[in-house]
Amino acid sequence: MVEMKLEGLQCASCAAKIEEKLKSNEFLQEVSFSFATKKLSFKSDLESEKLQNLVQNLIDKIEEGITVGIETPDSQNVIEKKSFKDLFLRNARTIGGALIFFTLLISDPTEPILKYSAYISAYLLIGGDIAWRALKNLLKGRLFDEYFLMTLATTGAFALGEIHEAVAVMLFYKIGEGFQNYAVDHSRRSIRSLLNIKAEYANLINGESIERVTPRSLQIDDHIVVLAGEKVPVDGVIVRGTSSLDTSALTGESMPRSAEKDSDVLSGFINIEAPLTVKVTKRFENSAVSRILHMVENATGKKAKTEQFITKFARVYTPIVVFGALALAFIPPLLGSGDVREWISRSLIFLVISCPCALVLSVPLGFFGGLGAASRKGILIKGGNYLEALNSIDTFVFDKTGTLTKGNFAIEKISGTDTLKLAAQLEQQSTHPIARSIVSAYGKNINKNHMTDIREYPGQGIRGLYKDKELLVGNHRLLERFSIDFNEEKYAGTTVHIAYGGKHAGSIYIADEIKESSWNMSRKLKTAGADEVIMLTGDQKHIAEYVGEKLEIDKVYSELLPEDKMQHLEDLIEKGKKVLFTGDGINDAPVLARADIGVAMGGLGSDAAIEAADIVLMTDDPSKLLDAKKIAQTTRAIVLQNIIFALGVKLFFLTLGALGHASMYEAIFADVGVALLAVLNSMRILKK
């Protein structure tokens, strides 16, 4: 994936044109452009220098003044806040024109030459650049361009002698455009500031001294110091010190988390109390912060259906309105009803309302806001499409171990001799939560060399040769598979059997705990509109049913192999259900990928799961799905409000204009106002 940034893009409706143009180029694939982040992404085989030229050339053909920059991971995502002075200078001509216009309104000169030349110069000062751009675009064959239409409308008004209107409409248009840009930049800034989680520097321990370095330069196993008040720059593990950490930027959790020697820390946490010495375990680009920023930034590339629809709609809206204007100007007079001048004057109102700006601006911004709000709560959603799809999910499916339960098993009982030692030898090779618990319960060093021929049986256990004899660790199905005789003792937790050299050597009895945040979740999901909550697990029936009953889950399927889980999921999808699957990803990455929406646990989950999932829950709390659902709902409501409101107002003024009840003044005011309100409305999502 290549990413580029388009700086200097102001015109919202150009975004769609740019995307379309690039899509039709043979060298670029999977093109996506988001107006909200100004980020362009695509695939291509060309080398980067050629690409930049190619893209720049293509874009220059559409709109001038845009610079194409290559996105480097280090490029700062700051959006310059424009100073007041800057704003003033930039708009000096418009302000000058406005002053002349107001003087003219007050003094009201009657001498025609003086009057006309004064009005024309005011007009040119205010809208000269617009007219110039319109002309250039026209030469490039771009007819339905908002600049062109504004210019046409205002010069038309001039020609009809409506000189006040002509200047005023251009002035309002400019002011409106300025405000819109400001509002859009402001929104982008607020969303970005939510993601202000990157540390600027790291304190590297170098012998006796401490050096300030960039987080990117840190290597695995470096030791760094994180002082109180500082952000953790990369993921690592604490080697000295005790403190508490503010994890809210990543997880949305407001309660500080205590941390001591051997605790893992993630980049983006803030150290609150005392200095910590941290050993680096992940390089900057693989650390949590980089991964999160990358995901959120790229999320806007996967567009929601509504967003795609609006883009398509915007393309036809303008031509339709323009043809409407033409029809209005000429058909009634041809049919003999009234004065041509009157109808032309009415049709100009159409041109003023012909830009779909309000929609093009506010809909993508709405989704971007929703994604930002979710990531603030530790819910990483990988695309606007998933945020929107959350609203139509009716079936919530959960994995048990590591998802609804904590997955850190406590060993309650062990039978047989050397059972734990044998089990640990083999489980050393597995990432399954059961395996990790057994290894940490054993606690001693394990010599990996004694183990050969290791193979894991997903949903059953693991097998290998230990000192050349067969060792099996897993559930009853694994033992049955290898025809080992054993006695099953009744136990209210998970039983792990160990067989060595063809004989049952003993069992480890372990218990798991239900996560606090799993309680009541099922009921709340159903109150929030879910039809059914289902649990799919590879664990034994009696435990599965116990957990299912406690958590009020509608249907429980147990003792499933990974492929059985997939079968259940496909059956549901076949029945027309919209299915969300939540899992820790151990043994269920394919299911995550197949579900309409796959949700992975970000903390416990494996990298493969995080990769396969559409939504990642940073805190491993399944109940965050309720928050995600709420944010999805709000986003949808706000986007819908904007669409209805913007189209409603436009339709209203088109009708009024056609009937001769509205002037150009009112039309431009309504149009600009709507765009502004819609952008501001989108911002409400962040308050959720």
Structure tokens at 384: 């606007």
Residue with tokens 């805190």: 619
**Cβ 418 to Mg ion, closest distance in Å?**
28
> Looking at 31-39, 409-417, 469-477, 640-648, which segment touches ligand ADP (CB under 6 A)?
469-477
Q: State which of positions 275-334 bind Mg ion (CB under 5 A).
A: none
Q: What sign has the CA pseudo-torsion 581, 583, 587, 589?
A: positive
Between 9 and 609, CB nearer to ligand ADP: 609
x-or-dash pattern for ligand ADP, window 441-460, by CB under 6 A? ------------------xx
Residue with tokens 């004064």: 118
Q: Which of 202, 359, 462, 586 binds Mg ion (CB under 5 A)?
A: 586
Between 388 and 399, CB nearer to Mg ion: 399
The Cα 123–Cα 119 span in angstroms is: 6
**Cβ 433 to Mg ion, closest distance in Å?**
7
- Look at phi and psi of residue 482 and say left if phi exceeds 0, alpha if psi is from -120 to 50, else beta: alpha
Q: Could you tell me the CA-to-CA distances from 526 to 345, 390, 522, 546, 622 in Å, in that order?
A: 56, 14, 6, 20, 14
Of 23, 27, 16, nearest to 54 by C-alpha is 27
Residue with tokens 């399954």: 432
Of 75, 633, 617, 620, nearest to 375 by C-alpha is 617
x-or-dash pattern for ligand ADP, window 576-595, by CB under 6 A? ----------xx--------
Binding of ligand ADP at residue 537 (CB under 6 A)? yes
> Looking at 19-27, 100-108, 399-407, 630-638, which segment touches Mg ion (CB under 5 A)?
399-407
**Cβ 569 to ligand ADP, closest distance in Å?**
13
> Looking at 112-120, 435-443, 510-518, 580-588, which segment touches Mg ion (CB under 5 A)?
580-588
Binding of Mg ion at residue 456 (CB under 5 A)? no
> Looking at 208-216, 329-337, 401-409, 621-629, which segment touches Mg ion (CB under 5 A)?
401-409
Residue 388 interacting partner from ligand ADP, Mg ion, none (CB closer than 5 to 8 Å by kind): none
Binding of ligand ADP at residue 547 (CB under 6 A)? no
Binding of ligand ADP at residue 473 (CB under 6 A)? yes
> Looking at 45-53, 331-339, 410-418, 427-435, which segment touches ligand ADP (CB under 6 A)?
427-435
The Cα 545–Cα 554 span in angstroms is: 11
Q: Are 394 and 577 in contact (CB under 8 A)?
A: yes
Between 361 and 601, CB nearer to ligand ADP: 601
Q: Which of 584, 620, 621, 627 binds Mg ion (CB under 5 A)?
A: 584
Between 222 and 584, CB nearer to Mg ion: 584
Residue 435 interacting partner from ligand ADP, Mg ion, none (CB closer than 5 to 8 Å by kind): ligand ADP
**Cβ 507 to ligand ADP, closest distance in Å?**
11
**Cβ 616 to ligand ADP, closest distance in Å?**
17
The Cα 495–Cα 505 span in angstroms is: 13
Q: Which of 156, 370, 372, 402 binds Mg ion (CB under 5 A)?
A: 402
Of 178, 186, 177, nearest to 369 by C-alpha is 186
State the alpha helices, DSSP H only, in 300-397.
Answer: 305-334, 340-352, 357-376, 384-389
Of 622, 593, 620, nearest to 605 by C-alpha is 620
Structure tokens at 103: 């003087």
Q: State which of positions 488-507 bind ligand ADP (CB under 6 A).
A: 494, 496
Binding of ligand ADP at residue 435 (CB under 6 A)? yes
Q: Which of 401, 419, 522, 663 binds ligand ADP (CB under 6 A)?
A: 401
**Cβ 537 to Mg ion, closest distance in Å?**
7
- Active-site residue among 399, 584, 596, 614? 399
Amino acid at 182: Y
The Cα 117–Cα 125 span in angstroms is: 12
> Looking at 109-117, 537-545, 574-582, 660-668, which segment touches ligand ADP (CB under 6 A)?
537-545
- Look at phi and psi of residue 471 and say left if phi exceeds 0, alpha if psi is from -120 to 50, else beta: beta
Q: Which long-range contacts (CB under 8 A, 24 or more apart) does 141-150 make?
A: 142/62, 144/318, 144/319, 144/322, 144/354, 146/11, 146/13, 146/318, 146/354, 146/355, 146/357, 147/11, 149/318, 149/322, 149/351, 149/352, 149/354, 149/355, 150/351, 150/352, 150/355
Q: Which of 247, 362, 375, 401 binds Mg ion (CB under 5 A)?
A: 401
DSSP one-letter string for 597-627: EEEEETTTS-HHHHHH-SEEETT--TTHHHH
x-or-dash pattern for ligand ADP, window 355-394, by CB under 6 A? ----------------------------------------
The Cα 409–Cα 485 span in angstroms is: 26
Binding of Mg ion at residue 562 (CB under 5 A)? no
**Cβ 404 to ligand ADP, closest distance in Å?**
9
Of 347, 354, 320, 322, nearest to 671 by C-alpha is 354
Between 170 and 426, CB nearer to ligand ADP: 426
Binding of ligand ADP at residue 461 (CB under 6 A)? yes
**Cβ 422 to ligand ADP, closest distance in Å?**
12
**Cβ 251 to Mg ion, closest distance in Å?**
21
Q: Are 407 and 584 in contact (CB under 8 A)?
A: yes
Q: Could you tell me the CA-to-CA distances from 521 to 476, 533, 574 in Å, in that order?
A: 31, 10, 26
**Cβ 585 to Mg ion, closest distance in Å?**
7
Q: Is 399 a catalytic residue?
A: yes
Q: Which of 146, 399, 456, 671 binds Mg ion (CB under 5 A)?
A: 399
Residue 556 interacting partner from ligand ADP, Mg ion, none (CB closer than 5 to 8 Å by kind): none
Structure tokens at 382: 């990988």
**Cβ 594 to ligand ADP, closest distance in Å?**
15
Extended beta strands in 116-261, E state: 202-206, 209-213, 223-226, 236-240, 243-246, 257-259
Q: State which of positions 630-669 bind ligand ADP (CB under 6 A).
A: none
Q: State which of positions 140-199 bind ligand ADP (CB under 6 A).
A: none
Between 129 and 559, CB nearer to ligand ADP: 559
Which residues are at the interface with ligand ADP (CB under 6 A)? 399-402, 427, 430, 432, 434-435, 459-462, 473-475, 494, 496, 537-539, 586-587
Which residues participate in catalysis according to the annotation?
A: 399
